[in-house]
Structure 1
Amino acid sequence: MSRDGAPLVDLRCESHTYPDGTVGMHDIEFSVYPDESIALVGGNGAGKSTLLEHLNATLVPDDGELVVDGTPITEDTKAYARKAVGFVFQDADTQLVAPTVLDDVMFGLQNYGVPGDEANQRAREALAAVDASHLEGRIPHHLSGGEKRLVGLAGVLVLDPSVVVLDEPLAGLDPERAQLVADRIQRVHDEGISVVFSTHDLDFAAEVADRVYVMADGNVIGSGTPREVFYDDGLLDEANLHPPSAVRVARDVGIGAIAQPVTETDLVSLLTDTGDSKTVQTPSIDDRGRD
């Protein structure tokens, strides 16, 4: 992760109020830098989806500003924000619009005037990037939840975004599909694309994120590295969150105060080094429950 220079996305939102008068977000400062992965965590109703939808101008602040790649986003430049910051919605059906998967991934390119042959080739490459080439002739609405998320991700990647934003990408998926989607998100980040995702699964956040933002009551109440955030009991209590499994196990066996592991890999390595690995069983991603 590098945070040198200007951010790719810089959001300042003093307030955002929905038409019914509900305050969805206030006093927000949120930045995304090149080559980083950010997790946004918080309880239901904390404002996570509202914040994410501001990052590509799906929503706009009542009072504030969004800057993407140095360009202030106005009504005239919203299209630029939506190309540079790709958004994968939690409800994948909302962005699946074409009769076949390949047509769906090509759809955004065609809207930007990319010729048919080039759009076809780029769509196939995007599907291959998320290991979904075998789905190209399928009807999108007949896919499983995990398959729909991958197609939605391909439909974003085909536009060569600087940042990919995913709203609860693992929600509602069985453990096998959740692991598949999680692996593809990590692969996108490994390719040098910045990733922002909201999640209730703090184990997933600990594994993937370079930085974590914590939200409660429409506001960011804290941020930092996974270690800084997930060992801050006061911050997690304020957001009504429980720490990741590795943090809880580390504390149970008495090593949390010193080594502070946040992932299963960290924990197993520490326990192996101390000779305690046989006494503790840590949950894998396949064993964890999901909201």
Structure 2
Amino acid sequence: MSRSGSPLVDLRCQSHTYADGTVGVHDVNFEVYPDEVVALVGGNGAGKSTLLEHLNATLVPDEGELLVDGTPITDDNKAYARKEVGFVFQDADTQLVAPTVLDDVMFGLRNYGVPVDEARDRAREALATVDAAHLEDRIPHYLSGGEKRLVGLAGVLVLEPSVVVLDEPLAGLDPERSRLVADRIEQVHEEGLSVVLSTHDLEFAAGIADRVCVMVDGNVAGCGAPHEVFYDDDLLGRANLRPPSAVRVAREAGLDASARPVTGADLVALLNDGASDPDTVPASVDSSGHG
């Protein structure tokens, strides 16, 4: 987990209250560092979306401060925050505004005054990055949910942000589309961008995140590496979360507690190590695999 240097995004939000009096978040300190994936998890109403929308000044704290790459964000420079911190909304239709996919991905560049030919070239490059070049002539609102997420991601990447924020990127997708979107998110990170995402899918969080932050009642109750957070029963209990299946299987099988697998791949590797070293096999299982 890389947390070297100064944070790219540094949010200090003492409170954010909606117009109806609902408190969205309070006492939140949240940073995003270079070259990391942060997964935000918690139950419905825990404040995940509200926190994420503060990271690019879509929402602003009632009390507090947002710094993006060390620059304090005010009403006068929100555009800087939104360029450096790209946001892909859970409801992709809210950010699909143009008659074709290519026009939609070009939209932000044209708003920044980029000439049409350059904007078109950069938009095509962004679509190719997320394996969506074949969609460029399609009407955005007729796309599948997964395709809309990829186009929304391309529309963010074309602005060359430092951080990409995704609110529930796998929500409502079937397993095939979920895997496609997850693969593209991993690819974006491998190309050097930091990623922040919220998710209810703890298996996904365990496999993709360098750092997991758990939200409870509008606050960040705890953060850490997946092997720390997903073995913290007290923290997960406060958020009404169950650990990923690999954690549950490892515990039920009595596997080496110090190994702390969090993904299926971790679990397979641990079992393979146990098969080659009988001393690591749990006491309840003999070397033949029988109890």
Q: Post-superposition shift, 1:135?
A: 0.4
1:1-80 equivalences under 5 Å are 1-80=1-80
Q: Corresponding residue for 2:279?
A: none
Q: Corresponding residue for 2:172?
A: 172
Q: Corresponding residue for 2:136?
A: 136
Structure 2 CA distance, aligned partners of 1:22 and 1:258?
A: 42
Instruction: Verify: 1:84 aligned to 2:84, yes or no.
Output: yes
Q: Post-superposition shift, 1:275?
A: 2.1
Matched letter for residue 21 of structure 1: G
Moved more, 250-259 or 27-36: 250-259
1:1-291 equivalences under 5 Å are 1-255=1-255, 257-275=257-275
Is the contact between residue 15 and residue 27 of structure 1 (CA under 8 Å) also seen in structure 2?
A: yes
Structure 2 CA distance, aligned partners of 1:178 and 1:12?
A: 32
Q: Post-superposition shift, 1:258?
A: 2.6
Structure 1 CA distance, aligned partners of 2:197 and 2:135?
A: 24
Instruction: Give per-residue Cα distances to partners, 1:84-124, cap 9 Å, x unaligned.
Output: 00000000000000000000000000000000010000000
Q: Corresponding residue for 2:287?
A: none
Structure 2 CA distance, aligned partners of 1:150 and 1:256?
A: 40
Structure 2 CA distance, aligned partners of 1:20 and 1:39?
A: 28
Q: Post-superposition shift, 1:4?
A: 1.8
> Which of structures 1 and 2 has the bigger CA Rg?
2
RMSD over aligned Cα atoms: 0.9
Structure 1 CA distance, aligned partners of 2:37 and 2:4?
A: 15
Is the contact between residue 13 and residue 26 of structure 1 (CA under 8 Å) also seen in structure 2?
A: yes
How many residue pairs are counted as aligned between the two chains? 276
Moved more, 37-46 or 244-253: 244-253
Q: Corresponding residue for 1:288?
A: none
Q: Post-superposition shift, 1:263?
A: 1.1
Q: Post-superposition shift, 1:256?
A: 5.3
Is the contact between residue 17 and residue 62 of structure 1 (CA under 8 Å) also seen in structure 2?
A: yes
Matched letter for residue 239 of structure 1: A
Moved more, 216-225 or 266-275: 266-275
Q: Corresponding residue for 1:284?
A: none
Identical counterparts, % of pairs: 79
Matched letter for residue 144 of structure 1: S
Structure 2 CA distance, aligned partners of 1:83 and 1:169?
A: 20
Moved more, 251-260 or 10-19: 251-260
**Greater than 6 Å deviation, 4+ residue runs:** none
Matched letter for residue 172 of structure 1: G
TM-score by length of 2: 0.94
Structure 2 CA distance, aligned partners of 1:155 and 1:24?
A: 27
Q: What SS does structure 2 have at the residue aligned with 1:10? A: strand
Q: What SS does structure 2 have at the residue aligned with 1:76? A: coil
Q: What SS does structure 2 have at the residue aligned with 1:180? A: helix
Structure 2 CA distance, aligned partners of 1:135 and 1:4?
A: 38
TM-score by length of 1: 0.94
Q: What SS does structure 1 have at the residue aligned with 2:77? A: helix
Structure 2, gaps ≥5 residues long = 277-291
Structure 1 CA distance, aligned partners of 2:191 and 2:255?
A: 34
Structure 2 CA distance, aligned partners of 1:29 and 1:62?
A: 14
